[in-house]
Structure 1
Amino acid sequence: MSWKMLTGAFWVTIGVVITALGLDLFLVPNKIAAGGTSGIATILHYLIGTPVGMTMLALDIPLYALGIYRLGLGFGLRSLYGSVSLAILVDVFSLFVPVPTRDPLLASLFGGVLIGLGLGLVFRFRGTTGGTDLAAAIMRTYTGINIGQLLFLVDGIVVLAAGLVFRSWELALYALITIFIAARVIDMVQEGISYAKAFFIISNHTDIISGRVLKDLDRGATALKGRGLFTGSDREVILTVVNRSEVSRLKEMVYEVDPRAFIILADVREVLGEGFKEYGGEK
């Protein structure tokens, strides 16, 4: 097994541990069924007393079979490690982890953060925990509907069922909070926290500005060909990416050269390459 595969397996395992803790510390004890097979398992746990982890795994088994049939052997097997380890850890942790809060709002917030962080790590390192992700991928082969829309539909049905079973629409609303926060955290983990800024600089003095970017900031820059639609004249647009600490300095530098320059400033989630982060093969 290569170092890359070992690293990926390690981080997928960490993600599964965090996800299991999110369920056992916050969601399951507070009857927050935030969609997915974990939500169904939570409902069944309180209805008939079944263990949450093993119920999740039992729900996933037919999905594996159908997933292998519809999506190929590789897709089904790739889901196996994450879902089996998650099911085991959920049931093991439930035996001894404390319940830090019985406040459903706190539970939905912190549960969403942990679930999002855990699943974000799993997805970032090309793992999966099966569940509704696998179900949505299978359903897409039949319906052609976007996976995100299918996930929203499936999770919505689970949340609605939880509200009916627990006879509490407040718990259903808390579950929606968890789903929203988890989705945002998953995106943040996969895309990265914005730590750099992209500058698009439009000026009649691009040669001077780009020279100062290269020399004074020691940053690379790219000249893009552009055409002003109002004037019809061709001009260059400078594209450069800098750290947050360099934003003010670059603005001053541009306006010293050209007070009439036009700047577009955008957040950058992740930058791979010289002067920033080297690609580590995590994706």
Structure 2
Amino acid sequence: MTDVREPVKHTPLEDVQGLSLGIFLCGLGIHVLTHVGLITGQTAGLAVIISYLSGFSFGTVFFAINLPFYLVAYRRLGLEFTVKSLISVTLLSLVTDFLPLGFELGKVNVAIGALTFGSLVGLGLLAMFRHNGSLGGLGVIALLVQDTTGFRAGYVQLIADAIIFTVALFLFPWEVVAWSLLGAVVLNLVIAINHRRDRYIAT
């Protein structure tokens, strides 16, 4: 006889804990990424590139660049998801701006930096996904495209990343882009292998 269990809802306290952990891990990963001078994909990648070119902090740019996506998120994914995303983006912006003040990094090998970034942010996003949170941005647009055209969201995100890294080739040395790709691959592998709704029933 098959053991069928009903999904178990996370409590509000569990959501706070999970989202806080996810934000902190993502903040640590981005701190390492920017310390070694690498980039990444998705909305965070756009924010990193603009931050490098403009001199504004990552946190400021990341917060601003996410603002247009909240209306789309509300219409597509509902109020709870949108509020959690707004809070998460705001807190991550603050974490990434203030973390360097109390957590200075010394010499970090660029390969180790890429691996560390990918691992930390991958784990951080997993924690956020398990608690119905996100860092907004292009992922919301990808879901909208999937709903309206049938073109899969994952492919939309891959195309967005391909565009971002192609543009980066004209702005940064190829070695920077190559090591950045390593970090992005690690991040996406962590998500792809571990984010399986059919394996985890808590929501």
TM-score, normalisation: structure 1: 0.62
- Cα distance in 2 for residues equivalent to 1:81 and 1:108: 27
Letter in 1 for 2:115: L
Between Structure 1 and Structure 2, which shows a larger proportion of strand residues?
Answer: 1
Residue deviations 1:155-210, cap 9 Å, x none?
221222222212x1221121211111111222444349xxxxxxxxxxxxxxxxxx
Match of 2:22 in 1: 15
Match of 1:164 in 2: 170
Match of 2:90 in 1: 84
Do the aligned partners of residues 71 and 189 (structure 1) sit closer, same or farther apart at CA in structure 2, a change above 3 Å counting?
Answer: closer
Match of 2:190 in 1: 185
Which of 136, 145, 165 is equivalent to 1:130?
Answer: 136
Q: Trace 1:1-283 onto structure 2 (pairs within 5 A).
A: 4-24=11-31, 26-166=32-172, 168-191=173-196, 281=202, 283=203
- Cα distance in 2 for residues equivalent to 1:185 and 1:3: 22
Cα distance, 1:95 vs structure 2: 2.8
Q: Is the 1:117–1:189 contact (alpha carbons within 8 Å) kept by the matching residues of 2?
A: no
% identity of equivalent residues: 27
- Cα distance in 1 for residues equivalent to 2:194 and 2:130: 7
SS of equivalent to 2:118? helix
Instruction: Report which of the two structures shows the higher radius of gyration computed on alpha carbons.
Output: 1
Task: Identify the structure with bigger relative contact order (alpha carbons < 8 Å, sequence gap 6+).
Answer: 2
TM-score, normalisation: structure 2: 0.85
Do the aligned partners of residues 141 and 41 (structure 1) sit closer, same or farther apart at CA in structure 2, a change above 3 Å counting?
Answer: same
Match of 2:3 in 1: none
Q: Is the 1:121–1:190 contact (alpha carbons within 8 Å) kept by the matching residues of 2?
A: no
Letter in 1 for 2:161: D
Cα distance, 1:59 vs structure 2: 0.7
Q: Is the 1:82–1:127 contact (alpha carbons within 8 Å) kept by the matching residues of 2?
A: yes
Cα distance, 1:47 vs structure 2: 0.9
Do the aligned partners of residues 131 and 190 (structure 1) sit closer, same or farther apart at CA in structure 2, a change above 3 Å counting?
Answer: same
Matched pairs, number: 195
Letter in 2 for 1:176: L
SS of equivalent to 1:99? coil
Residue deviations 1:66-102, cap 9 Å, x none?
3324554444333212211111111111333222444
- Cα distance in 2 for residues equivalent to 1:165 and 1:143: 33
Between Structure 1 and Structure 2, which shows a larger proportion of helix residues?
Answer: 2
Q: Unaligned stretches of 5+ in structure 2?
A: 1-8
- Cα distance in 2 for residues equivalent to 1:154 and 1:135: 10
